[in-house]
Amino acid sequence: MDRDGVINRKAPNGFYITSWKEFEFLAGVSEAISLLNRSGFKVIVISNQRGIARGMLTQQKLQSIHRKMLASLVGSGARIDAIHYCPHNEGECRCRKPEIGLFLKAQRDFPEIVFEESFVIGDSWRDIEASKTLGCKGLLIQQRQVSAKTEVESLPIDGQASSLLEAVKRYVIPGPSGESSK
């Protein structure tokens, strides 16, 4: 899953989450991740972090944010199995979504991952495009109405929800309480 806009409130366009005090979990995130954990899913964050390339954030500060995010989630009974991020500008690498380099790294780390049985959950066309390249199901999180036509509209989306919790309960682990077998 993506981080900004899925796990935490996304900074306005052109800005980045640069400290823990700016990081704000979205409603239901720990419950959604806990449901995934209990259902046997690996929860891996794949995130573009261009703020590093732009000099607005250091890798050390990003790792500090991630350590605090992980600790907070564990305190709520939720676990993220791995975090992979791209610190580059566009066109500088093969890992920045919609490229799939970070997803392939995650699969090397967890060989049991089968993309055709996996979900990519994100809030942008980059996430959905990566899901299609990998053969995963692509779930789009949109907290607000989009007035203008977006690039996402031209991509096949396997599901759309207003939150990670809604996406998990509706598409990943459907059932009366969001708990069914995988």
State residue 156's pLDDT score.
84
Please name the residues in contact with 165: beta carbons below 8 A apart, sequence gap of 6 or more: 27, 28, 29, 31, 32, 35
| Tens digit of each residue's pLDDT (9 = 90 or more) over 110-163 | 999 999 999 999 999 999 999 999 999 999 999 654 444 455 556 789 999 999
- For residue 179, give the amino acid letter: E
Q: What is the CATH number of the domain that holds 99?
A: 3.40.50.1000
**Residue 182 in domain:** no
| Tens digit of each residue's pLDDT (9 = 90 or more) over 9-42 | 999 988 999 999 999 999 999 999 999 999 999 9
**Residue 129 in domain:** yes
State residue 150's pLDDT score.
53
**Residue 5 in domain:** no
Q: What percent of the chain has pLDDT over 70?
A: 89
**Residue 32 in domain:** yes
- Three-class HEC string of 11-79: CCCCCCCCCHHHCCECCCHHHHHHHHHHCCCCCEEEEECCCCCCCCCCHHHHHHHHHHHHHHHHHCCCC
**Residue 153 in domain:** yes
- Kindly report whether the global pTM for this prediction surpasses the value 0.75: yes
**Residue 1 in domain:** no
Range of the domain at 43: 20-172
Q: What percent of the chain has pLDDT over 90?
A: 86
Provide the domain count of the chain: 1
Per-residue pLDDT band for 181 (boundaries 50, 70, 90) equals very low
**Residue 9 in domain:** no
Please name the residues in contact with 106: beta carbons below 8 A apart, sequence gap of 6 or more: 44, 46, 82, 84, 113
Average pLDDT along the chain: 91
How many Cβ atoms from other residues are within 10 Å of residue 114's Cβ? 10
State residue 179's pLDDT score.
45
Range 49-62 average pLDDT = 96
Q: Which residues are catalytic?
A: 2, 4
